Amino acid sequence: MAALDVALYAALESDGMSRVLWEYLASAVPVVATRVGVVPEVLEDDVTALLVPAGEAGPLATAIERLLRDAPLRQRLGAAGADLVRKRFSGARLAERLTALYLSLAVSSARPAR
The DSSP output letter for 70 is -
What is the per-residue pLDDT across 42-66, written as a single tens digit (0 to 9) for each?
999 999 999 999 999 999 999 999 9
Q: How far is CA 87 from CA 56, 68, 81, 90, 92, in A?
A: 32, 27, 10, 7, 9
What is the per-residue pLDDT across 22-37, written as a single tens digit (0 to 9) for each?
899 999 999 999 999 9
pLDDT value at residue 103: 86
Residue 33, strand partner residues: 9, 51
pLDDT value at residue 39: 92
Q: Is the pLDDT of residue 90 over 70?
A: no
Q: Report pTM.
A: 0.77
